[in-house]
């Protein structure tokens, strides 16, 4: 069986692993053949002590996964086998992963608590969670500035972003209009650049496990460590 994961404690490189085939499913269990999977910042936490979920190397990557039923164990008392419509022939398995990114974006925005007319900075606004956060925030009237790759600019404009800043430009923080009510950190290593752009008493939420200590009255939330 092939999987992706890490090979030893403190090893952060994710590699292809050759693991034993899973045992036959027991009562009420099912074996899923994975067709699409995601890898996120949480995987780094699993192997560096940031979050203990009981996994020990070589663990699989913790990101969302989706696939098709491969083996089904015997139904237990009161258990009904899973069933449902077959996906259409044009179905892309990766589409099933969006709810996880969407939940991340939604929880981050709920932590920030923004209302119509307030300004939000999102780093990695073109990424999966960042782009969904752009749409959710814009839908309630929040003015969104996204630090993103130029290749994502056209797509983000259709999502309702107010301003796009080239994240590859080392001077991108200087090009942003400071005075944001909040910042959503969706790119590792961008906290130091984004924090000075937030108003005193504002909000910051990181989905990359690197939220800073509160300062200037700014409420700092590390979503991966609190969710």
Q: State the Cα–Cα distance between residues 62 and 71, nearest whole angstrom.
A: 22
Distances (CA, A) of 126 to 62, 89, 96, 157: 22, 28, 19, 11
Q: 4-52 pLDDT, tens per residue?
A: 777 776 676 778 878 888 888 888 788 888 776 666 555 665 666 555 5
- Strands, E, within 83-226: which ranges? 119-123, 143-148, 163-166, 180-185, 198-206, 219-222
Q: Which helix (H) or strand (E) holds 81?
A: none
Determine the angle formed by the axes of helices 98-112 and 128-139, rounding to 10 degrees.
50
Res 99 pLDDT > 80? no
Q: Compare 69 and 204 and report the one with higher pLDDT.
A: 204
pLDDT band at 173 (very low <50, low <70, confident <90, very high): very high
Q: State the Cα–Cα distance between residues 77 and 80, nearest whole angstrom.
A: 9
Local structure of 128: helix, strand or coil? helix
Res 145 pLDDT > 60? yes
Contacts with 183 (C-beta within 8 Å, 6 or more apart), sequence order: 120, 121, 122, 123, 194, 195, 197, 198, 202, 203, 204, 205
What's the predicted TM-score (pTM) here? 0.68
Every domain of the chain and the residues it spans: 2-84, 99-226
Contacts with 91 (C-beta within 8 Å, 6 or more apart), sequence order: none
Give the length of the chain.
227
pLDDT band at 81 (very low <50, low <70, confident <90, very high): low
At residue 89, the pLDDT reads 47
Q: Compare 7 and 185 and report the one with higher pLDDT.
A: 185
Chain centre to alpha carbon of residue 110 = 15
Max Cα distance, the chain (Å) = 63
- Residue of 158, 114, 95, 106 lying closest to 130 (CA atoms): 106
Q: Compare 166 and 24 and report the one with higher pLDDT.
A: 166
Q: State the Cα–Cα distance between residues 211 and 170, nearest whole angstrom.
A: 21
CATH superfamily for 99-226 is NAD(P)-binding Rossmann-like Domain (3.40.50.720)
């Amino acid at each position: 069986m092939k999987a992706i994961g890490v090979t030893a404690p403190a090893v952060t490189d994710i590699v292809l692993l050759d693991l034993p085939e899973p045992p036959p499913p027991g009562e009420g269990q099912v074996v899923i053949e994975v067709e699409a999977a995601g890898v996120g910042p949480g995987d780094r936490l699993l192997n560096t002590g940031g979050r203990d979920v009981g996994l020990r190397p070589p663990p699989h990557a913790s990101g969302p996964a989706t696939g098709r039923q491969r083996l089904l164990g015997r139904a237990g008392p009161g258990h009904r086998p899973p069933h449902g419509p077959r996906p259409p022939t044009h179905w892309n398995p990766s589409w099933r992963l969006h709810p996880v990114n969407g939940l991340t974006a939604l929880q981050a925005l709920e932590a920030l608590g923004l209302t119509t007319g307030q300004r939000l900075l999102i780093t990695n606004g073109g990424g999966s969670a960042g782009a969904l956060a752009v749409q959710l925030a814009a839908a309630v009237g929040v003015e969104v500035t996204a630090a993103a790759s130029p290749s994502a600019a056209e797509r983000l404009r259709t999502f309702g972003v107010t301003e796009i800043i080239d994240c590859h430009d080392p001077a991108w923080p200087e090009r942003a209009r400071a005075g944001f009510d909040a910042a959503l950190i969706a790119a590792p290593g961008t906290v130091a650049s984004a924090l000075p752009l937030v108003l005193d008493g504002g909000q910051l939420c990181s989905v990359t496990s690197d939220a800073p200590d509160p300062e200037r009255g700014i409420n700092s939330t590390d979503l991966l460590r609190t969710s």
